[in-house]
Chains A and B, each alone.
Chain A
Amino acid sequence: MVLHYNPTEFEVKRIKFSVFSPEMIRSLSKTKITVPDTYDDDGYPIEGGLMDQRLGVIDPGLKCKTCGGDSKHCPGHFGHVDLVRPVIHPHFAKDIYKVLNNVCHECGAYVGSRKKCPECGAKKEKVVWEKPVTFYVGEKELLPTEIMEILEKVKDADMEKLGYDPMYSRPEWFVLTALLVPPVRMRPSITLESGEKSEDDLTHKLVEIIRVNEKLEANINAGAPQLIIEDLWKLLQYHVITYFDNETANIPPARHRSGRPLKTIAQRLKGKEGRFRYNLSGKRVNFSARTVISPDPMISIDEVGVPKAIAEVLTVPVPVTEWNKREIIEYIERDEYPRVLYVIRPDGRHIKVTPTSRESILENIGVGWIAERQLKDGDLVLFNRQPSLHRISMMGHLVKVLPGKTFRINPTVTPPYNADFDGDEMNLHAIQTEEARVEAYELTKVDKQILSPRHGKALIKPNEDHITGLYLLTRDDAKLDAQEAARLLYLAGITELPKPDIDKKYYSGKLIFSLLLPPNINVKVEGKMSKRVVIKDSKLVEGVLDEKVVDHAILEQVFMKHGPDITRNFLNNITKVGLEYMTTHGFSVSLKDYMVSEKARVKIEKILDDMDKEIEKLINGYKNKTLQKSPGMTLKQTVETTIMMITSKTRDASGAIIRESFGKHNPSIVMASIGARGSILNAIQMSAIVGQQAIRNKRPHRGYYKRTLPFFEPGDLRGRARGFVYGHFSHGLEVDEFFHHAMAGRDSIVNKGIRTARSGYMQRRLINALQDFVVVDDYTVRDAKDRIVQFVYGGDKRDPMFSAVEEYIELPKEDDVDTATR
């Protein structure tokens, strides 16, 4: 038996699951456990007890009595307990039940659905299973000994019919005669501060099993009455059940002295915090860092600003070669920041670089050594924000060491992470192997993720102020003098001024923008602010930019035609230039911008009046039952839905008035129109009407007797009484309006919580169901058993990320859909 093995020398090819036979348990066991105790009074492990040193050691310095290894090398060994009377393994009770109902109790032959045994002719017995582990034939209870006798008679030849492989699991093994005792490693004791030792839950359970087992044996040997023996037997069975699973139905859970239920084997494996999901499917990693994020629009989208304090701790392994030896030696010799922290000798030993060790390291270092260098500018790292809902929640960034204590990212890359800067934290992982680095670079780097794999549209794109800036810049009235033009262009790395295009002296904003465009870009679309936006051969000749034009017409085209590198630079340039232009020209809102003209105020009051009248009419129609029912609805529902329609119509109508009153140049309206930020609704709520508040998509109606708040008459169905807010935010809400608004606000928060929980679970299930499906070399999609799920991926082999490609590039026709393979 290999006891001191190096796991990297072996590869797990397959895992066979099977049931241990009592013989197997005894041969696996290094010692028989007979003493229901752990340590003696001197704190020394009792021989034959649960902490027997033949089960392996965990205290450093001690040697294992089985393999001789110390705590680092000894993997631990199993022991066993011989049970005086057999007990049923609770997890196999269902299997036992099935076998008992399918075999002859006399000779063990397979009976199946027949009434009589085909071999011995005995009548087939009907077994009733009372959960968890009691079996009856008629009124008589089958004792585990009797069950074992029956199961032992089942022939290997009949096993296939029962669904078992007799080599690996025979039904009588489902009844335990020997219990495997796990190594101490699996159930370590902890020493409390007071010096008191506290045992693991499993150890506690095993102590009780052994104690009862001992007592049972003593009683049998003493010839105690059958009744007492059976009681003890049942008790032993109880302890074994709870040892395996302390949440078995119909069984009171075994408890700790404090009243806390014990965590036994099943509890260790199960659920979110169990061994499988917590430790096996998710593993902790080294070389990672986490801190708050904050924005820095001046760094590139594919960079991440790393605090120096973090860069000093994280390291990257650099193999020493003939070509970089001198460079590495320099890093080792340094005392300050970018230096080598550790070196790894060819034999795998880590050596810390200290003033004392430095000399000998420098003397010996050569090819084959690895230097662990601090993170520095230009290193590629993985950057992530939870919840990692899609693959772009983790992308490759280039390190840029910056002062401060937060990670810095360009706000343009926040959408894929769904990040903001209100205290969000993100994780960073320093890449440790060359292979991983190449993969991270080629597959995960930010500039390769500009298009979303979900729909092929740009996900990393200018937003909010970038759009406003570009809009202001490309307006027809944007006129820049040489100095300003030079400053903007310099931001984009352009150091030569073109010829002025206005009065031989000034530069148009359109010209500046055109200079940022890569070659060969042509656009002709309808804009939000101008009828046509025309870019001809990378020159903006007509129209102003807005959100839609920038990402869907320009950005995606740039990516398709020029690829990640140029698109990244383009994005960096236009966002920087946009922001700079906006900053220097000013763009802001003030309370004044939300003041409504007297004329508009009258109009708004008028439509509110009209609404009230309309609702009044409706309510009257409802009260004297003259109202026409809508199909499939009760009268009450008809009133409610009609009122909801009227109220939303009213708010929309006020939108037109606001738009007219505010004019085109109101900053709030500008932002909404070009798609930079907010919508007209925000302007309406701030300056005209907040509108109908809703709870579960209905008008609020509960709270007090036939009304929502005590101010109203019971049964009042009018707008105000049912959550319509006539006021606006700049004026402030009335008390009743305030309450209704708060109610709707609470409702939306509750809703959001429910939604995230539900959609998270659905996402987990979706991923679990689809995770093994992969496109193979012949473009079929296969599952883990190599079964074909799709004959041609997506019907046309096309990558969804580039699904919009023909909008920008003309593809050869015959390649569009592969009809031959279909």
Chain B
Amino acid sequence: MKRFYITPGEAAGIVAAQSIGEPGTQMTMRTFHYAGVAEQVPTGLPRLMELVDVKKVPKKPLVEIHFKKEYAKSKKKVEELMKKIEAVHLGDIGKAVENLEKRRILIKLNEKVLKSLDLTIDDVLKGIKTTGKKSKKKQYIIIKFDTDDLKKLRRHYIKIKDTLVRGVKGITNAVIVEENGEYYIKAKGHNIADIVKLKEVDATRVFTNSIKDIEALFGVEAARSALLREIKQVLYMQKLYVDIRHIMLLADAMTFRGKVMNIGRHGLAGHKASVLARAAFEETVKHLTIAAAKGEVDLLRGVSENIIVGKTVPIGTGRILLEFTPPKEE
């Protein structure tokens, strides 16, 4: 029924922005405890701002990793996989000490921790990638170097200290979650690029709350969906209902240029066609001088610039002209 269609000319953008922004005042700043994985995940206003600002990495990055059918049903298999995924650094299982005199690095491993993680000294030995000569002795690993350059030795030491013994870089605090008879992993981190490389992982259902990572791996369309999902979740969690069409428009606005753009001065608002609109928003002088140097032309086709020059804005009834045909006189 046409009656319930949006009216052509409707300032859909402004209505969407108001619909999402207005409940902001009612939003709490509470953080949310994300079972086991991360202590406090921002929700509400801070999270919404994080989303529209498209932070490179969210304050508390999280991943959800689902597995292919043959693994997902069994808790045991998923537990196995979790070990494969969760990052274990050398620092977690032992202590590395450098001995500059003897040109060697000594690593003392904690056997208890090793056992709890199902690792052997050989596994660790294999994990350490270095040019030095590796050898083991009880719970010790000794790496010898035949260089006299202490600076180099120090560099080796720093590198070895942060060695990733097992798992995917940056993925920590993993927990197993059961849902509809399926087991999957929730964890801290956002390195989905490396996660999808694992053959057991169902790459179609890898998710992270880091929009930038989704864009980098899956592209803008996926980023749009992620934005939509995340913004909706933030609002609905606090029972602030906003029609999905408004959120869609925001997500589309942030992605229609082919890459994810934030809404601030370095994103959508800063890339507007109109000089006046940009100058009226932020960094007034900068935009005016750049426009002068480049010889820019303002075509006055947006809202702000027409308000500035005192014309009718090209939105709603401002887009149409009225015509009146007076009745003919007899």
- Identify the A interface with B (CB < 8 A): 11-19, 91-92, 95, 163-165, 167-169, 174, 245, 266, 269-271, 274, 276-277, 280-281, 283, 389-391, 435, 439, 443, 453-457, 630-633, 637, 641, 697, 751, 754-756, 758-760, 762-763, 765-777, 779, 781, 783-785, 787-790, 793-795, 797-800, 802-803, 805, 809, 811-812, 815
Contact = CB atoms under 8 A, between A and B. Distances in A.
A609 B281 CA distance: 59
Contacts of B272: 772, 784
A759 B269 contact: no
B298 to A, nearest CB: 4
A798 B5 contact: yes
Interface in B283-306: 284-285, 288-289, 291-304
Contact of A770 (B248, B250, B308): B250
B7 interface: yes
B14 A779 contact: no
Contact of B1 (A163, A167, A776, A815): A815
Contacts of A769: 17, 253, 263-264, 267-269
B36 interface: yes
A755 B252 contact: no
Contacts of B256: 787-790
Given A13-B300, A765-B263, A771-B302, 14 more contacts: A17-B294, A164-B294, A269-B284, A270-B285, A281-B308, A762-B52, A763-B17, A765-B52, A769-B253, A770-B16, A770-B17, A784-B303, A785-B301, A800-B245
Interface in B1-35: 1, 3-25, 27-31, 33, 35
Interface stretch (B66-74, B138-146, B206-214, B315-323): B315-323
Contact of B13 (A763, A771, A785, A809): A771
B285 to A, nearest CB: 5
A754 B29 contact: yes
Given A785-B301, A794-B245, A795-B245, A755 B264 contact: no
A14 B311 contact: no
Given A163-B294, A167-B295, A763 B6 contact: no
B295 to A, nearest CB: 4
Nearest to B298: A15
B241 A455 contact: yes
A774 B11 contact: yes
Given A770-B253, A787-B256, A755 B25 contact: yes
Contact of A759 (B16, B37, B45, B280): B45
A431 to B, nearest CB: 14
Contacts of A271: 284
A392 B292 CA distance: 39
A170 B18 CA distance: 43
A799 B52 contact: no
12 contacts: A15-B275, A390-B18, A759-B21, A766-B20, A781-B252, A794-B6, A794-B245, A794-B248, A798-B5, A799-B7, A799-B10, A805-B4
A767 B245 contact: no
B191 interface: no
Contact of B19 (A454, A630, A779): A454
Contact of A773 (B39, B249, B273): B249
B45 A456 contact: no
Nearest to A16: B297
A168 B8 contact: no
A344 to B, nearest CB: 21
B48 interface: yes
A561 B256 CA distance: 37
A795 B225 CA distance: 14
A790 B248 contact: yes
B288 to A, nearest CB: 7
Contacts of A167: 295
Contacts of B49: 758, 762
A762 B294 CA distance: 31
Contacts of B5: 779, 797-799
Contact of A281 (B9, B264, B307): B307
B4 A632 contact: no
A633 B35 CA distance: 10
The 8 closest A-B pairs by CB, nearest first: A773-B13, A759-B24, A794-B245, A763-B21, A770-B13, A631-B36, A168-B295, A800-B243
Q: Which of A14, A771, A790, A809 has the most CB of B within 10 A?
A: A771
B246 to A, nearest CB: 6
A99 to B, nearest CB: 10
A631 B188 CA distance: 13
B285 A14 contact: no
B117 to A, nearest CB: 16
A168 to B, nearest CB: 4
Contact of A245 (B245, B277, B285): B285
B173 interface: yes
B242 interface: yes
Given A15-B297, A769-B267, A781-B249, A774 B13 contact: yes
A767 B295 contact: no
Contacts of A630: 36
A748 B102 CA distance: 60
Given A276-B280, A769-B253, A774-B314, A763 B248 contact: no
A164 B293 contact: yes
A14 B298 contact: yes
A443 B318 CA distance: 13
Contact of A766 (B1, B21, B298): B21
A797 B2 CA distance: 9
B6 A779 contact: yes
Contacts of A16: 295-298
Interface string B151-183: 000000000000000000000010100000000
Nearest to A11: B311
Nearest to A171: B293
A165 B4 contact: no
Contacts of A815: 1
Q: Which of A270, A755, A759 has the most CB of B within 10 A?
A: A759
A805 B3 CA distance: 11
Contact of B276 (A15, A790, A803): A15
Contacts of B246: 454, 800
B248 to A, nearest CB: 6
Nearest to A282: B307
Given A769-B268, A794-B245, A269 B285 contact: yes
B133 to A, nearest CB: 39
A322 to B, nearest CB: 13
Contacts of A803: 243, 245
B6 A798 contact: yes
Contacts of B274: 784
Contact of A758 (B4, B45, B304): B45
A718 to B, nearest CB: 23
B125 interface: no
B29 to A, nearest CB: 6
A211 B269 CA distance: 43
A660 to B, nearest CB: 28
Given A758-B45, A767-B17, A17 B275 contact: yes
Given A281-B304, A775-B9, A17 B298 contact: yes
B279 interface: yes
Nearest to B49: A762
A19 B293 contact: yes
Q: Which of B49, B295, B314 has the most CB of A within 10 A?
A: B295
Contact of A774 (B9, B23, B48): B9
Given A12-B309, A766-B17, A771 B285 contact: no
B84 to A, nearest CB: 20
A697 B36 CA distance: 18
Contact of B300 (A12, A756, A781, A798): A12
A762 B21 contact: yes
B203 interface: no
A777 B5 CA distance: 12
Contacts of A771: 11, 13-14, 17, 302-304
A85 B284 CA distance: 29
